[in-house]
Amino acid sequence: MQSNVPTAEAEVSTKFLMRFIVLSIIAAVLTVSIKFAAAWITGSVGFLSDAMESIVNLLAAMVALWALIVSGKPADHNHDFGHGKAEYMSSLVEGALIFVAAAGIIVTAIQRLANPQPLEEVGIGLVLSVVATLINLVVGAILVRAGRKHRSITLEADGHHLLTDVWTTVGVIVGIGLLFVFPDQLWIDPVVALVVGVNILWTGGKLLRRSSVGLLDAALPAEEVTAIRAAIDGVIGDDRVTVTDLRTRESGRQRFVQTTVVVPGHWTVARSHDLADDIEAAVGATFPECQTVVHIEPGRSDHPEPPPAAPVPEDHSI
């Protein structure tokens, strides 16, 4: 039976993750060029709205690159816990950019709905959009997979954004295809653009919510907490030692664990310290980028102190 408890992770460098963002930037440049060409050739506001979303993809990818560079910096005198939350800032910026793009799309669509215009060279526009969709589909899937594997909300958010763009383009293609079959129904093009705008607003809202939760120091997922408890229990191996408090939080790809461990009161400082080191090493072996702090508390001793000696009677002899 397959377990849901995560296995040990391999530590990855920021430079390695940056390769995925560079791939996203290249894909965004290509799709922006292709979609604007489709919009210019056909005069379709649906294609134009799709191209505007791809501009947001490009800007978001550039912000994501900045976030990865900043989040990879080590702790310094002003940031004792590192710079991991820069990834959440990237996701917030991307969500805000999505809202801006959606507003522009909706306004343009309403204007075109009030003043419909016939389209030209629809077939060429459809071919160009299909090519752009395939690019976003492949790159988006790669980014989401890498983001989940390496716990990077920046990669995952950027990948989901590209996949959302795929569904957006599919909707535009279907709408323009209908217009190609029914050329007199000019209302189809702006209505498709309106649907695209609403869909983008929904995506932006989800990104903003997730980023806000991360900035509020949310606890690690339940399955990861279970893995941490298992790592600690595997080290303790003594019924007299108990874990009374386990707190977790995440900051981008970084994890933070704080726990209180009660040991027998007669243990020496050295023995207690060795146990704390073993716990930190065990958690670090499961999650390499985790910073663990163990607080040792003395419990009841197995060897109670002997009762005080009876007082020696005074000698009153002369």
Higher pLDDT among residues 193 and 132, named by residue: 132
Q: Is a pLDDT exceeding 50 seen at residue 8?
A: no
The pLDDT, as a whole number, for residue 18 is 78
The pLDDT, as a whole number, for residue 76 is 55
Q: What is the mean pLDDT of the segment spanning 252-281?
A: 85
Give CA torsion, residues 124, 130, 132, 137, to 10 deg: 180
CA atoms of 266 and 304, how far apart (whole Å): 9
**Angle between helices 269-286 and 222-236 in degrees, nearest 10:** 140
Q: What is the mean pLDDT of the chain?
A: 75
Task: Enumerate residues 6+ apart whose C-beta is below 8 A from 264.
Answer: 240, 241, 298, 299, 300, 301, 302
The pLDDT, as a whole number, for residue 142 is 92
CA atoms of 173 and 162, how far apart (whole Å): 16
Lowest mean pLDDT among 20-29, 118-127, 280-289: 118-127
- Residue with tokens 């979609």, as numbered in its chain: 35
- Residue with tokens 């003594």, as numbered in its chain: 238
